[in-house]
Every structure is written in C-alpha cells, then in structure tokens.
Amino acid sequence: MPVAEAVPPVSARFVDIAAITLILTELLIRAWAAWGGYFSLDDFTFARLAAEKGLSGDLLFTPYNSHFMPGAYLMVWAETTIAPLDYRVVAGVDLALLAISFGLIWLLVRRLAGPRLAALIPLAVALFSPITLPATLWWAVSINQLAMLIAIPGALLAQLAYVRTGKRRYGVIAVLAAALALPFYEKAALIVPLVFAFTVLLQPHADLPDRLKATLRRFKAQWISFVLVGAVYAGIYVTRPLDKRADSAVDLGGLFGNAATNSVPTGLLGGPWSWKAIGAVDASAHPPVALRIVACAIILAVIALTVYRRPLAYQAWLLLGGMLLFDVLVLAVGRLQLGSGAAMEFRYFTDLAPVAGVALTLAMFGPPEWAATWSQRTGIEWPPVLGGTRLNLANPNAVVLPLVVALFVSSLVSTVKYSNRWHENPAKDYVTNAQKSIVAMGRQVDLYNGAVPEKVAWGVLNPTNFPSRLMAPLDLPINPDPAVSKDLYVLDGSGNLTHARVDGAKAPTGTVRNCGYRVSGKRFPVFLDKVLFNWWWYAELHYTAQQTTTVVFNSANTRGRQITFEKGEHVLWVKVTGPAAWITFDDVSRSAGVCLSYAAVGVALPGDPVSPGGN
C-alpha cells in the first residue's frame, strides 16, 4: 500500500503564530457581535441597582435571583459609574476578559500537547464554540461567567505546573483562581472537582484507584485550602436572603437528554446553526434534527476513535461528561421552573467550552510525557490511512486546516444569526431616543412613569421596567409621576417624548355656553361616565380662568390636594388614586371665572409629539 512521504514537523513558532491568528480572528468576530449589541432585561436591573445604591454593602452583598456575586456587582458599579448605559465600554471590557481566557486556553492546550499543529483542533473547539456567545453579548451573563472562563484554564494551567514541579506557589495560584472567581458566580465552585479530576489524570500510575490515592496524599494541603475557601464562601452564601424555589418535580432526564444529545454536541461543533427566539433579543439553541444527529455521530466517532487508539482516553471524556452532568444538576436546582427546555440555552453551559478543549487535547495526545503515560493500542494504523495515503497530523493541509476552517465556518453561521438578534435590540433605540428628547427640553420634565414596552423590559423586572428606574444611571432631568403638572409628558413606544393625553373615564360635555362647566362655590362636583377600578390614574383638566386662583381638588382616595388654576387657557394634570368616579373642586371663587371645558381620568398615553423647540 503506497504511503505518502512524512512531512517534517512544523516549528513551534509557526504553531504559536497560527494559534494567535485563530484567537485574533475569533476576537474580531466577537467584537463585531458585541459592539453591535446593547443592554437587555437583567442588564438594566444591575445598572439601576448600581446607580441607586452606589458602592455599598447593600449593593455588593445582596443576592440577585439566588446569585451571590459581590465581584460581579463591583464590576457593574465600575462600568456604570465610568460610562452609564454605554454598551461600548461593557463590550470592550468583555472582549478584553475574553482575550485573557482565550490566551490561557491556548497556553494550557500547548503545554499539554506540545507544539503540535494538531493542537489547533482542540483550541478551535474552545475558541469557536457558540456556547460562549451569551457571555460575550449579554452583560448579565458576562459579569458572572467571564470570570469563570478565565479561572478554569488559569487554575488548570497552574495545577499543571504544580504537578510537574511540585512548587507550592503554583498550587496557591490554582486555589486563588477559584477563590477570585467565586465572588462573581457561585458555580465557580466546580473548579475544585475539576482541578482534582485533572490532577488524577496526570498521575503516573496505571490504575485509577492508585491515581486517586496519590492525588489525595501528594496535594493534601491544597485540597484543604480549597475546602476552606469553599467553606468561607458557603458560610456567607447561606446567610444571604436567597430567593425561595417553588417545590416542583425536576425533569432531570429531560434536561440531561437535551443537553447531551441536542444543545451541547451541536454547540461544540459550531452549531446550533438555527435559533429559537426568546423575548426581543435572546435565543436558545434550535438545531435541525438532521444536523443534531450528525453532530452526535461525529462526537461519538471522535470518542470511539480516541479510546480505541488510547484505551485510557476514556478518562478525558469522563472529565467532560462529569462537567456536563454537574452543569445539568446546577440547572435542575437553580432553574427547575424553566423545564427541560432550559438545557437549550447555552448560557448554562458556558464553562464547557474550555473543558471540552482540554478533554479533546488529552484524548488526542494523552498527558504530557513527564506525567502519566497512556499507552497506545498496537496493531492499528495511526495516523489513519485513507485512499492509500496516510493522513499525517503534522500536515496542516491534510487534516488540521480543513477541520479548523470547518469549525470556523460552522461557528460563523451560528454567530451571525445569534448576533443579528442582539443587533436589532429595540431597547437601544428606546433609551437613545428617550435620552435625546428629554435632554433637548433643556429643563426638568414631568414624566408619566408608566411601564416601558415589553420588548424593552419585561414586566417581571418591576420596578426596572419604569422609565425613571430603567434609565436611572443616566441621571436625566425628569420628575416622575408628579402629583400636579402643568405640562405632563409620556414616552411613546420608540422612546420619543410626547405630550400626555388621558384615556379612561370622561366627564360629559358641560352645558354652559362657551365655557362647559362654570366651576365655583364651596364644592363643585363633576361626575364621570364610568367608575375606574382601584389603581392610580391621572386627571386631565382643560380650563380657562380670568384670574389665578388656588383651589382644592378631590377624587376617590385623593383628598385635599391643592391645585392652581392660572389666568388664561391651560391644561392641568392631577395624580389620582383609588376607584375614581367623580372629581370635585372646593373653595372656588366665582370671580376667578374658571371654566372647565374637558375633564378625564385614566391612564396617561402618548399624545402629540414634542416639537423640536421643546413645546
């Protein structure tokens, strides 16, 4: 059988340059994805809390949705203080942190595999996987998970050096990596069993029980340190007022099935290639069935081939499988109310990307020569022979380049489709328009503080879904929901400032010619055409007055509110609480000549747009 001539191995410099090129290429793609995005949902809540509470213990140590994350809050406070609601700063910080993660992943892969060109394949899996996309585009995800994306390769890299040299400073670095990630995301606790399992794989013993014993004995001080760090964090965590979870059955089988056969396999190969919309911008994996089957077949084939070549390679895949199971268990406990469909959201599996790269590296090359040795099965052709030609893994044009390019193209399709949704974020135009139109008024604006559109912020985020809270970091000159206003404004669905108009219960047309209702006397009642339910409303009053006079306004639970009818023709808005069915005006002098031409009580809605001059 003819065999192709062996290709000389490429230089270490060439491999490093190729790896850096892949990293920079992916960072450019992520930069395009990130800088076209904007804040969404929980992002606004975090920014609001930072603006309202400032750098305080009340901000740093208050859990959010059962997450105890003082480190993440500190990052939110810093970014909100430096550039309030400026997504460019957030994107820049996230890209810088992602670059650190990518660099550490490559250092880890290279030190495990050596300067082999084939090491670019596991690097490409970790770099290009869309599983980390939410941590790039969604601020609420990135503030938790980018720390973990740095800590995982950082801790494993330090542990690799610790196992090789025995120098305790490397063991300390591994512990510190986990300790520094915990304040950002409690899930960083998984770094401890991950480091332990990784250390077991590097032990120079044939039997797994011997590896476990050696790992426990040799690095006992380090494991004690990990336990102490975890105990301190857990002690603080359980004292926080965490959200209570409703008691319901956990569909663990459905979660694991979706993760193991649907979302994660496609994500590791650049998928899912198709997304299912969640809200205005987010999306979950929705791979076509045929491609899902192909992805599972490819991954199973890779596992089978590597284990056939090196029987102990199964341990590397157990590392990845254990991580996947850990993620599913965390998801089952923390998000059981979402059902098995939660496993289709990549943000719950961000940490799998670097671990997949490590597992594939170990499965392909085994541990480094100085560590454990995974014997290769004899009697097989390796590298494989196809069509009479041996595929040499040192030849980039034979195996590595096509696989890396295929992963990149596959990932690019998924990335573009996912990012396009974030680029069309309606919240961006809403906030931009609101800020521009309010500032253009050049004065304080009385603003009806009704809920923003659901496409901007969901109602479940209350009170963040009110304009004054949503845009609290911008410190705009607004007076939300004034008790009395001579010029009330409402933001329309696009965030543009408009004059308010009240829609609800109306007073019948008055009978006094050229006046409507002649308001005077100790108490003058006006009855509405229907009864409003118990809520808070605005009364819109159109009137003329011959002289300025102060009167008392009453309606439902709003009693004794002083308002001023100014001389001339004007409109006045008065906040009303309770089941309104009538309004009254007390102590109105007849000489004031007050005529009420229109009265309505109800919800303030967008009316006429504000002119460029602010009127």
Secondary structure letter of residue 272 according to DSSP: -
Does 86 have pLDDT greater than 60?
yes
Contact (Cβ atoms closer than 8 angstroms) between residue 488 and residue 457 = no
Domain ranges of the chain: 12-423, 428-609
Q: Is the pLDDT of residue 389 over 90?
A: no
Q: What is the pLDDT of residue 396?
A: 46
pLDDT in tens, 507-535: 999 999 999 999 999 999 999 999 999 99
pLDDT band at 45 (very low <50, low <70, confident <90, very high): very high
CB neighbourhood size of 401 (10 A): 14
Question: pLDDT tens digits for 329-351?
Answer: 888 876 555 667 888 999 999 99
Q: What is the DSSP letter of 507?
A: P
The pLDDT value given to residue 152 = 97
Q: Which pLDDT band, with edges at 50, 70 and 90, does 373 fall under? A: confident
Q: Taking the alpha carbons of 139, 142, 147, 150 in that order, is the dihedral positive or negative?
A: negative
Rounded Cα gap, residues 194 and 144, in angstroms: 18
Confidence of residue 3 (pLDDT cuts 50, 70, 90): very low
Q: Per-residue pLDDT for 124 more than 80?
A: yes
pTM for this predicted structure: 0.90
Q: Which of 274, 305, 505 is nearest to 393 (CA)?
A: 305
CB 107 within 8 A of CB 158: no
* DSSP bridge pairs for 489: 447, 499
Burial of 429 (0-12, 13-18, 19+ CB in 10 A): middle
Q: What is the structure's pLDDT at 388?
A: 54
Q: How far apart are CA 331 and CA 507, in angstroms?
A: 55
Residues of the chain with pLDDT > 90: what percent?
A: 77
Residue 517: enclosing H or E segment and its boundaries?
strand 517-519
